[in-house]
Structure 1
Amino acid sequence: MTLAGFDFLSVPAIKEEKITGGTAPSDAVLMLSRQKAEEIAEKYPYNTVIGADTVVALGNEIMGKPENEQDAFDMLKKLSGKTHTVLTGVCVISPDKQINFYEKTEVEFYPLGDDEIRQYIASGEPMDKAGAYGIQEKGAMFVKRINGDFYNVVGLPVARLARELNALTGK
């Protein structure tokens, strides 16, 4: 947001967001981002609130943050040598309007060896990341190519969000 020239206050959502099984990845990120934004908007009703949530999807299988090291290994093994989709849902709530959209980026991984995956997991980096990797950190070594917004993979489609905010405020 600073990159786009906006002043902001970061307030984490506390409630556990929920989606039902079988929900399409695009629908899931829209619901999750809306749940986060609505929670914060209740506390700040006169402000513009932005909620965002990112998932990694291999087909229709949603990969959130790994529950443990084995889960991280299994996710990275599934992503190895394949193209997956990273979706970030964004919900903007202002006192008089709500916008909900998602951005989608395709990411192709190189084939990954088991030892390479284990070394990465040992760094601790994948444990708090959707799909068990961070493209902006050591996980960048797995990425063969991307098609779409890099910042979306990081967790916030900054350019699209800036345009939506400017349209909302009439700038």
Structure 2
Amino acid sequence: MSKSIILASSSLSRIKIMRNAGIPFTSVKPNVDEREVEKSLDLSDRTNSERIALILAEKKALEVSSRYPQYVIVGCDQTMSLGNCIYHKPKNMIEAEQSLLSLSGKTHRLGSAYVLASNGKVLRRHISIAQLTMYNFSREFVKCYLKKIGKKSLLSIGSYQIDKEGIQLFRSIKGSYFTVVGLPIMELINDLKKENII
């Protein structure tokens, strides 16, 4: 039995992953203020980046499910952390530069979560983790890189476009490429099959 799927995301990377996987779906942007949700969390959740990703993915899935109860909703979120510091998408090029400089020569974590929901109920939850180690680079290098990619640096948490030239910033990556770009598609397909959705 096949049910219609909605991807609760406007992320071009996630849309591309789903399309390339051959999964029929439509995309709907969830009405969720991520920063407000984070502020409302208790301290133990607010300081755990992977927990935040799961909570936000669930909020997005359930919000869209409230509007489209007959569909299966895939809510997604990605968080990034370096030690105890949790990162967000930069608001401007200055923040993008600061973000990249703070990651230089270090290993950070990306958590990519999804939640499947239908008719206001959660069906499945999953999070995948990747560890990314960057090369050491100078402020001058970062400025040149950001000048080259421009405002695209504001579209991702780490200010890098890993599916493009940003891959050159990394010494090593432990974890799935799909986790890094924001949607653990193998695990999602497995869960969709378990739920007889595809």
What is the TM-score of this pair, normalised by structure 2? Answer: 0.80
Per the alignment, in what secondary structure is the counterpart of residue 124 of structure 1?
helix
The question of 1:87 aligning with 2:114 is answered: no
The question of 1:120 aligning with 2:145 is answered: yes
CA, structure 1 residues 89+97, in 2 after alignment: closer, same or farther (shift >3 Å)?
Answer: closer
Identity %: 28
Q: Deviations over 1:49-70 (max 9, x none)?
A: 0010112111231111012222
Distance in 2 separating the partners of 1:65 and 1:75: 9
Distance in 2 separating the partners of 1:60 and 1:24: 8
1:5 is aligned, of 16, 19, 22, to 22
Give the equivalent residue in structure 2 for 1:14: 31
**What residue identity is the alignment partner of 1:9?**
T
Distance in 1 separating the partners of 2:190 and 2:21: 10
CA, structure 1 residues 136+170, in 2 after alignment: closer, same or farther (shift >3 Å)?
Answer: closer
Q: Deviations over 1:19-46 (max 9, x none)?
A: 1364301110011111111111111101
Per the alignment, in what secondary structure is the counterpart of residue 26 of structure 2?
coil
Per the alignment, in what secondary structure is the counterpart of residue 34 of structure 1?
helix
CA contact 1:86–1:152 (8 Å) conserved in 2: yes
Give the equivalent residue in structure 1 for 2:13: none
Distance in 2 separating the partners of 1:126 and 1:156: 19
Per the alignment, in what secondary structure is the counterpart of residue 99 of structure 1?
strand
Instruction: List runs of 5+ in structure 2 lacking aligned partners.
Output: 1-17
Give the equivalent residue in structure 2 for 1:75: 99
Per the alignment, in what secondary structure is the counterpart of residue 36 of structure 1?
helix
What is the TM-score of this pair, normalised by structure 1? Answer: 0.92
CA, structure 1 residues 13+106, in 2 after alignment: closer, same or farther (shift >3 Å)?
Answer: same
Instruction: List runs of 5+ in structure 1 lacking aligned partners.
Output: none
Distance in 2 separating the partners of 1:81 and 1:129: 19
Give the equivalent residue in structure 2 for 1:44: 68
The question of 1:33 aligning with 2:33 is answered: no
Query: Pairwise CA RMSD of aligned residues?
Result: 1.7
Distance in 2 separating the partners of 1:15 and 1:45: 17
Distance in 2 separating the partners of 1:119 and 1:28: 33
The question of 1:149 aligning with 2:168 is answered: no
Q: Deviations over 1:110-158 (max 9, x none)?
A: 1111112112222222111112112112211101111111011111111
Name the structure with the higher helix share: 2
Per the alignment, in what secondary structure is the counterpart of residue 190 of structure 2?
helix
Per the alignment, in what secondary structure is the counterpart of residue 116 of structure 2?
strand
Aligned length: 171
1:111 is aligned, of 136, 155, 162, to 136
CA contact 1:4–1:159 (8 Å) conserved in 2: no
